[in-house]
Amino acid sequence: MKIALVGIGKIAVDQHVPAIANSPDWELAATVSRAGTVDGIEAFTDIATMLEARPDITTVSLAIPPVPRFAYAQAAIRAGRHVMLEKPPGATLAEIHALQALAQAQGVTLYTTWHSRMAHAVAPAKAWLAGKTITRAHIIWREDVRKWHPGQDWVFEPGGMGVFDPGINALSILTEILPAPVHLQAAELEFPANRQTPIAARLQFTGNITADFDWRQTGPQTWDIEIDTPDGKVALRMGGNLLEIDGQPAQGENTIMDEYPALYARMADLICQSRSEVDLAPMVHVADAMTLGRRTETEAFDF
């Protein structure tokens, strides 16, 4: 199936382009970007022109930042194309509700992807936790924004989500593997004096579940989720890619795909089944944290 990739930035080059290139399901048939291109692939600078010129391209994958994403998604769905959205799926919850209704009316597939849910340890951790009682869980998600978003000021602009841009990956795993839903009880958000989104957040959920997000960690990066039950402990390390049971590696053989190839395989499946998959639970927790969180001001941040 032919696909167009919109937004040729870092995440597109690092993940989307190789995942599509190595997929048995997909052929990268066009790109849409004001700046980037992919060698040998027809390049457009605006989506309306691409949608008009290439009726053979039936699916559009959007890897642009969340704030401008709605207009692109709306245009593609109105033109009868299937759409997959990078995480977070948009800048607001209401716009995704609107896209969901539009996709249903148009009879096309809408897929709100959460790449971290495809990490290797997620499915086995979910299976291990099924039916168990959680007595405590703690997320530590600490990375260096300068390494992962070099110079990308949009992450600190309204709608850019700040430290929730990586933190939502942890929340996408948490909401996937927990046997029962939780909700936020309190949050502390640290805003740099010169920025509009938080650079650090500490969250407290029901069920003795806490999270520590920080975007100022240099050196080794930490993406860990530890969960205790009366029947033992499970930990997911390296962003959900390494599984530990009771402190011991429990990976075993691993034949499943990497994150982005798994997302593109899932999109192909959804289209074949004429289904959409729209799960906003991780984004609801972020919106709740921004609504309920206690704000403190911290040192100004510059790239």
* Amino acid occupying residue 159: G
Chosen residue from 92, 210, 217, 298 binding a copy of itself by CB under 8 A: 92
Quick one: 9 or 207, whose CB is closer to a copy of itself?
Answer: 207
Chosen residue from 21, 127, 186, 272 binding a copy of itself by CB under 8 A: 186
**One of 10, 87, 147, 233 is an active-site residue; which one?**
87
Is residue 278 involved in binding a copy of itself (CB under 8 A)?
Answer: no
Is residue 199 involved in binding a copy of itself (CB under 8 A)?
Answer: no
Which of the residues 146 through 165 are near a copy of itself (CB under 8 A)? 158-159, 161
Is residue 196 involved in binding a copy of itself (CB under 8 A)?
Answer: yes
87 is catalytic: yes
Cβ at position 76, least distance to a copy of itself in Å: 17
Cβ at position 159, least distance to a copy of itself in Å: 5
Which of the residues 53 through 82 are near a copy of itself (CB under 8 A)? 67, 70
| E-assigned strand segments in 181-276 | 184-192, 200-205, 209-214, 222-229, 232-237, 242-245, 248-249
Nearest to 184 by CA among 289, 41, 48, 296: 289
> Residue 295: in which H helix or E strand, if any?
strand 294-298
- DSSP for 18-76 reads HHHHT-SS-EEEEEE-SS---TTS-EESSHHHHHHH-TT--EEEE-S-HHHHHHHHHHH
Number of neighbours of residue 54 by Cβ within 10 angstroms: 16
Quick one: 158 or 249, whose CB is closer to a copy of itself?
Answer: 158
Quick one: 92 or 217, whose CB is closer to a copy of itself?
Answer: 92
The residues, ordered by sequence, that sit 6+ positions from 59 with a Cβ below 8 Å of its Cβ are 1, 2, 3, 4, 26, 81, 82, 83, 84, 267, 271
- Whole-number Å distance between alpha carbons of 5 and 192: 33
The radius of gyration of the chain from alpha carbons, rounded to an integer in Å, stands at: 19
Is residue 93 involved in binding a copy of itself (CB under 8 A)?
Answer: yes
Is residue 293 involved in binding a copy of itself (CB under 8 A)?
Answer: yes
Cβ at position 166, least distance to a copy of itself in Å: 16
| Residues annotated catalytic, as ranges | 87
- Which positions lie near a copy of itself, rule CB under 8 A? 67, 70, 91-95, 97-98, 101, 158-159, 161, 181-184, 186-187, 191, 196, 281, 284-288, 290-295
